[in-house]
Structure 1
Amino acid sequence: MHAAAVRSRDYTPVLILAFCLLWSSAFAAAKVALAYCPPLLLLAGRFLLAGTLILGACALLGQLKRIPAREVAALALMGVLNNACYLGLSYVGMTTVSSGFTAVIISANPLLTALAAGPLLGERLTPLKLAGLGLGMAGVALVVRSRIGSGAEDLTGTLFVLAALVTLAAATLLFKLVRTGAPLWMGSGIQSLAGGLALLPVALMTESLDAIQPSLPLAAAFLYLTLGASVAAFSLWFFILSRASATKASALHFLMPPLGLMFGWLLLGESVPPLDLLGIIPIALGIRLVTTGGPVRSGIGR
């Protein structure tokens, strides 16, 4: 009976914590790498290597399976949105804005997801969940207004990160809309490879290979971004999405502001204004309401 209890134990909370730590720390690691390498070349190399590693591991473990071309195309589109567009725009933005500020903006993903999840996925938000989303976004808005108003962040870089937020929300919804028979890791590998292939020609046309400055910090950050973020974090994210509604899963992004600010401060010495800390309070309350405010019903299979 004890063995059965161990087998049935739900490790999802542990996986969620691991995802949040990997995802939020990747912003600071990216900021380190961007000091030595142009953003699109960095991402193209990261995605191509991650996709090759994941699909190679799938082949060794017997997890590669034949799926219809339509599903491959859908996974490739999600890869372009999730990797090439979301992170491409984020990294370009992070060349002029801080990593912690980027994490705060991206944490607004639940609001966009919730607004579209109703008509597209049939998800219904309870009043408590709506209140949680409102509180969370109020906290995000407080931080954004503080940073932009004080001139601490670049407006153009902020617009790039906001565009990245839109593509991330679109990718989240697309994942919930599309059914695929591909194993989780195989799907993640296809998406990474698609993102890398989409970014590579753009990177080669707009950035110079001579701008890359080989160094130990670049190598360490690149490996962390590839193995920790692209391989581990994205696989965990799709696992979480496959087990939760789009709105509830996206609510995890409300954890990113405090974690992103913390990693930016610890690793990069980025300043954390008092209003940033004040903004974390409604964000934390929003997390609790969104994740515990009653069931979210969906007409789409989970």
Structure 2
Amino acid sequence: MRKIPIRTNIYDEMKNTIRQTYFLAIIACLLWSTAFAGIKIGLEYTTPLQFAGIRFFLAGIILFPLVKNRKNITLAIKHHFWLILKISLFQTMILYSLFYLGVSLVPGAIAAIFIGSSPLFAAIVSSLMQKNDKLTLPKMLTISLGIAGIVLIAYHKEWSDKDELKQLLGMGILIAANISSGVGNVFVSRQKGKIPPTTLNALQMSLGGLVLFVGSLFYEPFTGFNHPPAYFISLAWLSFLSAAAFSIWFKLLQRPGVLVSDLNIWKFIVPIFGAILSWLLLPDEQPELIPIIGMLIIAVSLIMYNFVNRKARIK
């Protein structure tokens, strides 16, 4: 008789943890969805890698005062420097170098498709690197359905770009960026308990941002800081959202039982939020039937994915 309430309590606790994880994942994705407008504003006044470098360096600096025990910073650098370097390399340096370069080579519609397809690449990378996160056929089908929704949202007349070689190169670079992000996610997930999420995020972003900025000086002319308020507002917002969203994401990746592929599926809602924000904030953007259908398809894919996961947990 006593076993029934114990099992029920464990099951209820698991459900509450899952719901909280999903809620926080949605918050992180909502923050990321605002980044595209901020990047577009900032790049009117400076070069891509410089802007990215300053953004992530400031994001890391913002987090340092939030580290509860300052000794954690020293201990993390002393005992886990190479782990921090690996995560910073894949999660900030390589990812955003390739991201900005790829976006500059392809039309916006194609860039949106490849950026939106990151959950697929995260699932593939995680299935190759982690034994407990295999890519099953139902997962593959639901992820593919989500990517179909991304394609519809991103559909645009720019799709018929004639510069095929440049476009193919850009696509390849964006695929490499998605793979880098997936590898970074796996490294974060693997180090559960070694470094507190806020400490890890502060160190990897400040290091990655500094390397991006210094590296940019060899390829891009230094634009200085004599810019209008719009630049600094966009930089401040991007730095804040990076610090907040990545801290949430790192915390979720380190939770027991959270798989990289399951968490990254929520990134499908980034283009949904991004499109809605564009319709609300930009006067030239209006809702269209095809993107709305794409949003509905993504919603269905998320429901299906969670249904598949629920069945697996019950088993």
User: 2:149 aligned with 1:139, yes or no?
Assistant: yes
Distance across 2 between alignment mates of 1:90 and 1:128? 29
Q: Which amino acid aligns with 2:307?
A: T
The secondary structure found in structure 2 opposite 1:207 is coil
Distance across 2 between alignment mates of 1:161 and 1:150? 18
Q: Is the 8 A contact 1:63 1:186 kept in 2?
A: yes
2:61 corresponds to which of 49, 52, 58:
52
Partner of 2:229: 216
1:69-218 alignment to 2 at 5 Å?
A: 69=78, 71-95=80-104, 102-122=111-131, 123-143=133-153, 148-151=158-161, 155=167, 158-179=171-192, 181-210=194-223, 214-218=227-231
TM-aligned CA distance change 1:102 to 1:206, over 3 Å = same
Q: Is the 8 A contact 2:32 2:245 kept in 1?
A: yes
Distance across 1 between alignment mates of 2:311 and 2:243? 29
Distance across 1 between alignment mates of 2:180 and 2:238? 20
Q: Is the 8 A contact 1:31 1:99 kept in 2?
A: no
Q: Which stretch has the larger CA shift, 280-289 or 119-128?
A: 119-128
User: 2:233 aligned with 1:252, yes or no?
Assistant: no
Structure 1 residue 211, shift from structure 2 partner: 7.0
1:281 corresponds to which of 278, 296, 302:
296
2:249 corresponds to which of 208, 233, 237:
237
CA deviation string 1:37-96 (max 9, x = no partner): 111111111122222232243267665351375622112221222122222332344456
Q: Structure 2 length normalisation: TM-score?
A: 0.78
The secondary structure found in structure 1 opposite 2:73 is coil
TM-aligned CA distance change 1:113 to 1:293, over 3 Å = same
User: 2:277 aligned with 1:263, yes or no?
Assistant: yes
Q: Is the 8 A contact 1:100 1:262 kept in 2?
A: no
Q: Which stretch has the larger CA shift, 175-184 or 53-62?
A: 53-62
Structure 1 residue 169, shift from structure 2 partner: 1.8
Structure 1 residue 146, shift from structure 2 partner: 5.0
Structure 1 residue 280, shift from structure 2 partner: 2.6
Structure 1 residue 260, shift from structure 2 partner: 2.0
Q: Which stretch has the larger CA shift, 15-24 or 182-191?
A: 15-24
Distance across 2 between alignment mates of 1:207 and 1:272? 37
Partner of 2:6: none
Distance across 2 between alignment mates of 1:66 and 1:257? 38
Higher Rg = 2
TM-aligned CA distance change 1:67 to 1:187, over 3 Å = same
The secondary structure found in structure 1 opposite 2:223 is helix
Q: Which amino acid aligns with 2:263?
A: A
Q: Which amino acid aligns with 2:209?
A: G
TM-aligned CA distance change 1:152 to 1:185, over 3 Å = farther
Q: Which stretch has the larger CA shift, 205-214 or 94-103?
A: 94-103
Q: Which stretch has the larger CA shift, 108-117 or 247-256?
A: 108-117
2:46 corresponds to which of 25, 37, 48:
37
Distance across 1 between alignment mates of 2:254 and 2:108? 28
Q: Is the 8 A contact 1:27 1:99 kept in 2?
A: no
Over the matched positions of the two proteins, sequence identity in percent amounts to 24
Aligned residues: 291
